Amino acid sequence: MFNGIKGVLYRELNVYKKRARKQILASSLSPLLFLIAFGWGFGDKVVAGGMPYITFLIPGLITMSSLNQSYGIAQEINITRFYFHLFDEYLIAPITYMEIVLGEVLYGMFKGLLSTLLIFVYAVLFKVQLILSPLFFAAIIIHTFLFASLGTTMAMIVRDHGSQATVNTFVITPMIFLCGTFFPVDKLPYLFKLIVYVLPLTYSTKVIRASLTGGDVNLLYFSLMILFAGLFFCTAYFAVKRVEA
Amino acid sequence: MKEILKVKGLVRKFGDKTAVAGVDFSIQEGEFVGLLGPNGAGKTTTIRMLTGLLKPTEGEVFYYGKDFSRHAKEAKGFIGVVHQYSNLDRDLTAYENLYLHCILHGIPKEERNSRIEESLEFAGLAEHRDRQVKTFSGGMKRRLVIVRALLHEPKILFLDEPTVGLDPQIRRSLWDLIVKVNQLKSMAILLTTHYIEEAERLCQRVMIINRGKIISSGSPEELKKDLGRYVLEVFHEDHIEERFYNTREEALEELKKCTLSSRIREVTLEDVFLKLTGRRINV
């Protein structure tokens, strides 16, 4: 039991260990740039969602950065699948598809949570007060689970590296910019509001921001996060199941 | 001897192209079988269906009498697979690659280290255990992939074109390794190849596959006998004609009647192969 999960994690974490320094350095740069540009650049005068902009921004950076990292396993799975053909090694082993999916998703969550930790370091450096509640931990776990599952799904259904990049350009990047990470979505025109409320990041950002800044967490949004997470985990499972090496 | 593998009416279609068009055979414990065929004959597709990497369009696969599609997890425990390409993780060391295989196949923790050391020794890679695989040569990677497939002590080993693209020295050393596996570990082997010499030297039984169908099967000797022991080659202006005879005398008789230049030689497996699969190249 669980040999598949252990195997996938052993592989992913060992490779990660060898690249850890480079990876962490690279993933820490873009949130820092956002903080300098929008946090310091705008100063304390700008208020968003009833709080100083930098306080508003930090939770957004947490969801953005952890999304990037959790979803980013898609790229790595792609390389192991198309380039190293290592995925065949999983498929011929006496393990279930469920174990493969769980292994990859856990790895994605690990990366997402690591980047969350990093933003907390920035929060301290930029003197932003945040509230750590159990609800926040539940939300960030669901959030990283959701996007790691989505990443695994995408890695399995694309046919090559190129289509992976297309998905990033047309789905991931717009989502990161539109779903309330940098500004409150309530001010968007009606049409965009419609789009934004279909995308899961909107809900995780709202829930995570509310829990970190002492606002009221909308339980409907929280439930929707769980729903999305469940949905993408199922798609990941079925995508792995139908994959032929 | 017990039957490990039984294949019944295996078919695989890709769109409207049929790669494997109904294949039946079985393999006994400890047997060394070759699947010989030209490129595109359906060898790799067959192997991939037998190892769970492709789903058959039609047909059934049984391991020890149990349906593979319903008992996949159990069956995968006694299958070892070496693919045509090296599917090692280039970022991991030789040791780590083998360790990953141990975890995936549920080898108990306390046995892992000794099995890995033994495997590296067997492959002659002991001193390279902590080197990343990306620094390995082609031959080293092949040896590592083969011993990796043996770590969980499978009952049957699938070798898909194990020596393709390797130079003669490395090919010979791999043959030695493969024979050692078959003999010492009394493991059944199904080897695919388009190198006739490889099939002839290694396999007890050869199945010739062409256009997705097995068109002949037997020991290399039997297959040659079916064609005749001697061949008379007649050199025409634009091609060489081959005539097959059972005895040298018959061949000599014919040779005397020939006006064109001609010669007699013994039949090789290559003659059988070409006779059966045709000379036209259709990849």
pTM of the model: 0.88
Q: CA-CA distance, A199 to A201, in Å (whole number)?
A: 6
Q: How far is B1 from chain A (nearest CA, A)?
A: 25
Q: Which of B52, B83, B103 sits opposite A6 (nearest CB)?
A: B103
Of all residues in chain A, the one with the smallest CA distance to B73 is: A94
Q: CA-CA distance, B260 to A57, in Å (whole number)?
A: 91
Question: Quick check: B89 and A80 in contact, CB under 8 A?
Answer: yes
Dihedrals φ, ψ of B243, to 5°? -125, 140
Of all residues in chain B, the one with the smallest CA distance to A4 is: B104
pLDDT tens sequence across B142-173: 999 999 999 999 999 999 998 887 888 888 88
Q: CA-CA distance, B7 to B42, in Å (whole number)?
A: 15
Does residue B259 fall inside a structural domain? yes
Which amino acid is present at B16?
Answer: D
Q: Roughly what angle, to the nearest 10 degrees, separates helices A219-242 and A200-213? A: 140
Residues of A in contact with B51 (CB under 8 A): 92
Q: Which of A66-70, B117-121, B123-127, B223-227 has the lowest mean pLDDT?
A: B223-227
* B280 pLDDT more than 70: no
Hey, what are B225's tokens? Answer: 């006998």
Q: What's the pLDDT at B281?
A: 46
Other beta carbons less than 10 A from residue A159's beta carbon = 8
Does residue B272 fall inside a structural domain? yes
pLDDT tens sequence across B128-146: 999 999 999 988 999 999 9
Strand B32-36 to strand B205-210: parallel, antiparallel, or no bridges (unpaired)? parallel
Does residue B229 fall inside a structural domain? yes
Which amino acid is present at A216?
Answer: D
B12 interfaces chain A, CB cutoff of 8 Å: no
Dihedrals φ, ψ of A61, to 5°? -65, -35
Which alpha helices (H) appear in A35-133, and where do they start and end? 41-42, 53-71, 73-78, 87-91, 97-125
For residue B261, name the pLDDT band (cuts at 50, 70, 90). Answer: confident
A13 interfaces chain B, CB cutoff of 8 Å: no
Cβ within 8 Å, pair B81-A92: yes
Question: Quick check: A59 and A208 in contact, CB under 8 A?
Answer: yes
Strand B240-245 to strand B262-266: parallel, antiparallel, or no bridges (unpaired)? unpaired
Does residue B117 fall inside a structural domain? no
- Collapsing DSSP to helix, strand or coil, A183 comes out as coil
State the 10-residue block means of pLDDT for chain A, 245 residues long.
93 94 90 87 80 91 95 91 87 93 97 96 92 95 98 90 86 90 88 91 96 92 97 96 77
Mutation target among A12, A89, A97, A98 for the B interface, most CBs of B within 10 A: A89
Question: Quick check: A78 and A157 in contact, CB under 8 A?
Answer: no
Cβ within 8 Å, pair B105-A91: no
Residues B126-139 as b or e (16 or more Cβ within 10 Å = b): eebbeebbeebeeb
A23 interfaces chain B, CB cutoff of 8 Å: no
The four Cα atoms B131, B135, B137, B143 give a dihedral, to 10 degrees, of 30
Q: What's the pLDDT at B279?
A: 61
Q: CA-CA distance, B92 to A77, in Å (whole number)?
A: 15
Does residue B233 fall inside a structural domain? yes
- ipTM rounded to 2 decimals: 0.89
Does residue B242 fall inside a structural domain? yes
Q: Which of B79, B87, B103 sits opposite A88 (nearest CB)?
A: B87
Other beta carbons less than 10 A from residue B10's beta carbon = 23
Cβ within 8 Å, pair A245-B53: yes
Q: Which of A3, A11, A85 sits opposite B106 (nearest CB)?
A: A3
Domain count, chain A: 1
Residues of A in contact with B74 (CB under 8 A): 94
Domain that holds residue B249: 223-277
Residues of B in contact with A244 (CB under 8 A): 53-55
Q: Which of B73, B89, B92 sits opposite A94 (nearest CB)?
A: B73
Better-predicted residue by pLDDT, B249 or B49: B49
Does residue B209 fall inside a structural domain? no
Cβ within 8 Å, pair A95-B55: no
Q: CA-CA distance, B137 to B159, in Å (whole number)?
A: 19
Does residue B63 fall inside a structural domain? no
Please name the residues in contact with B78: beta carbons below 8 A apart, sequence gap of 6 or more: B4, B63, B64, B154, B155, B156
B177 interfaces chain A, CB cutoff of 8 Å: no
Domain count, chain B: 1
- Collapsing DSSP to helix, strand or coil, A48 comes out as strand
Q: CA-CA distance, A112 to B207, in Å (whole number)?
A: 52
* B98 pLDDT more than 80: yes
* Full 3-state SS string of chain B: CCEEEEEEEEEEEECCEEEEEEEEEEEECCCEEEEECCCCCCHHHHHHHHCCCCCCCEEEEEECCEECCCCHHHHHCCEEEECCCCCCCCCCEHHHHHHHHHHHCCCCHHHHHHHHHHHHHHCCCHHHCCCEHHHCCHHHHHHHHHHHHHCCCCCEEEEECCCCCCCHHHHHHHHHHHHHHHHHCCCEEEEEECCHHHHHHHCCEEEEEECCEEEEEECHHHHHHHHCCEEEEEECCCCEEEEEECCHHHHHHHHHHCCCCEEEEECCHHHHHHHHHCCCCCC
Which amino acid is present at A106?
Answer: L
Cβ within 8 Å, pair B73-A96: yes
